[in-house]
Chain A
């Protein structure tokens, strides 16, 4: 294995491959920033260019475009509240409020550092464990995916904030409802398409995200008209990038968040079919929980943790998705499916033997990820933003929407496999454990204060008695 890694290192360090990492990152960042153009279109555009390349070079270029796009998507999320790619929708939740406070520079810097750390840490995981991680991608069955999505939904509390639980729940339900529009993935039946051809494929997540952000902005300006002076002050604050320095206190907050989110993001990425978007939402929800009531309430208002978590997780997931692609030959997403097609057209079949048969391709791609992340950091830190306008309202609806489709699909598949019996919910240990965690996540915050109060009373009573 060490020999393979060294071969990969020398391949990755060749001038042409170094150039391709740089080109990939640059193109990816640029395309990722444009709202609506995701990594899939970016990589599809690259395919004709990669013909005639060495397989390692082609894959290095495409991988660079992929994580570059996830990296670049955060810029437009933070600056104009219009996520460039689906994976950076959660980035807007806290990134944009920071920008509105005149701290756009800081927000961009935090996003860049988090993405860099997430990508690099995940690349370390890849390097150490890629061949043995194939097992993890196969450990999850439909029932477990369903449980995972249920767990994800409990993140709704992260958006609820101060006493808005009912509102948040209603919006989650609306999101779940919207996710049922289109052709259902099990029977192929059209649902709620109103006979419109454009609704047959469902509602686009990115479109929904941009529409809700823009809509809330429009409603806000109608309901709360601002005086010209206010508006001028606000514009001034946003024009001003502010310092890009991240202070010690903030770094202290970021480090553990980045550590946890890298692991979570990478793990979600390894599962075929989950991906960067779901990883970013799960990390956001998890960190809000862990932040405690005081810091957690800051989520959505421009929390450093709330920005670092999704930004770390989406990049880590992006690296993680290379595990099933390279070690099993299974594409977990549309983006990796295109890369698989390209690899096969080079005459390389990814699978359990890839790192034995083609060590230079396997390891060179992983090693190029380190370089790519450094390049992205250098590229993104000085990127100068220009406009920022819209008001951010973190939307539980988006959470419901993104998880709803997969939750339904996996539940229905699990039911088919288990002959319509629901017993898998408690008979399969993995499924049961995840559901248990989900239940605890929901119940503990409700129970804890009650129990705490009861305990305090008791102590008081005991104190009085003694």
Chain B
């Protein structure tokens, strides 16, 4: 065994000892990426980071990828960590999603996306309003009519706290339909699955949830999707109307997931990450990961991502103020 072999094995061993997942280094665009995950193993953030890392390394775009789960404070712990150790984190990408906007508005943590370097939005899921298959409310129009007659009779559940994402989406839709958004009788559950159980048990009339979750249940004829918050109808459910065409004027909402670098990340480094992610979309390795998870590609790089975040923050912030949550 020659010495370079030995060295490589040592490096590999050291990498493994540190809990890093090492992949054979080749002529990759970026040598290595460290993914910081603000939640525990098995959650949505975790899946996004590990899936992206898998596609990037297998496609040879990134040499090695490592992962670190740092849950706590609704994601605030990881954000604080990334900012505090920014100088050492040039090779780190933190995964996050729409809640970073909402929780920073709610002051769950003092920072916002502005304290980080937004790199790109990568995937997304639209929101949907669903009812039980045997619900008397067969269409979005009927739901709105019933709601306008007496909003207290149309309880809408969701998998987040009052003032959280699912509540905001429900209020947004009602506002678009010309009804009073503040009158939504929102019933919070601590997870999407429990909220779905609540809908099926009949204790709530409708559910505000992610389209991905809703379509899986709709395929089993357990729920009916009244509308989806995409701009155009989706290939996965061509019969489901968008909320805008169903009568909620101008309503569009996407729960994005994307990546952030530490504050002060050099422009060149950011551009390299953006280019790597852009290249990733066209690889079969990404297609495997994407299809496996049922994700929707929504690429939103660099400055476009920043202005998208600003727009979302304004829209959600205005609505939260109107609802009295801020």
Any A CB within 8 A of the CB of B191: yes
Instruction: Name A345's contact: one of B80, B106, B152, B292 (CB within 8 Å).
Output: B292
The contact string, 1 if C-beta is below 8 Å from chain A, for chain B 49-82, is: 0100010000000000000000111101100100
Q: Pick the residue among B54, B155, B161, B293 that contacts A187 (CB under 8 A).
A: B161
Q: How far is the CA of A45 from the CA of B188 in the complex (A)?
A: 30
Cβ A330 vs Cβ B197 within 8 A: yes
Contact of A272 among B74, B162, B193 (CB under 8 A): B193
The number of chain B residues touching the other chain, given as a range, is 35 or more
CA distance in complex: A351, B213 (Å): 12
A124 sits at the interface (CB 8 A): no
B118 within 8 A of A: no
Contact B222 A197 (CB under 8 A): no
- Cβ of B119 to closest chain A Cβ, rounded Å: 24
Chain B proximity of A226: nearest CB distance (Å)? 40
Within 8 A of B (CB), among A323-376: 324, 328-332, 334, 337-338, 340-341, 344-345, 349, 351-353
User: Which among B42, B71, B74, B185 has the greatest number of chain A C-beta atoms within 10 A?
Assistant: B42
Query: Chain A residues with Cβ under 8 A from B294's Cβ?
Result: 344-345
Q: Residue-by-residue, is B257-294 near A (CB-CB < 8 Å gives 1, otherwise 0)?
A: 00000000000000000000000000000000000111
Residue B217 lies at the interface, judged by CB distance under 8 Å to chain A: yes
Which B residues from 198 to 230 make CB contacts under 8 A with A?
198, 200-204, 216-217, 219-222
In the complex, whether B14 has a CB less than 8 A from a CB of chain A is no
Given the complex of chains A and B, what is the CA–CA distance between A48 and B161 in angstroms? 31
B163 at the interface (CB under 8 A from A): yes
A141 contacts across to B, CB distance below 8 A: 198, 201-203
Quote the shortest CB–CB distance from A145 to chain B (angstroms): 10
Please, how many angstroms separate the alpha-carbon atoms of A328 and B77 in the complex?
A: 35
Q: What is the CA–CA distance of A201 and B71 in the complex, to the nearest angstrom?
A: 9
Which residues of chain A come closer than 8 Å to B194, judged between CB atoms?
272-273, 330, 332
**Interface-centre pick from B41, B186, B197 (highest chain A CB count, 10 A):** B197
A278 to B46, CA, bound (A): 27
Evaluate whether A188 and B42 lie within 8 angstroms (CB atoms) in the complex, with A141-B201, A142-B198, A417-B155 already known. Answer: no
Shortest Cβ distance from residue A232 to the other chain B in the assembled complex, whole angstroms: 40
Q: Does B91 contact A (CB under 8 A)?
A: no
4 tightest A-B contacts by CB?
Answer: A351-B220, A188-B161, A44-B41, A44-B42
- Residues in chain A within 8 A of chain B (CB atoms): 40-41, 43-45, 47-48, 51, 137-142, 183-188, 190, 197-198, 200-201, 272-273, 324, 328-332, 334, 337-338, 340-341, 344-345, 349, 351-353, 409, 413, 416-417, 419
- A-B pairs with beta carbons under 8 Å apart, 21 shown: A44-B41, A48-B54, A139-B201, A183-B161, A186-B162, A186-B188, A187-B162, A188-B164, A198-B73, A200-B72, A200-B74, A201-B72, A328-B197, A329-B196, A329-B220, A330-B196, A337-B42, A351-B217, A351-B220, A352-B222, A416-B155
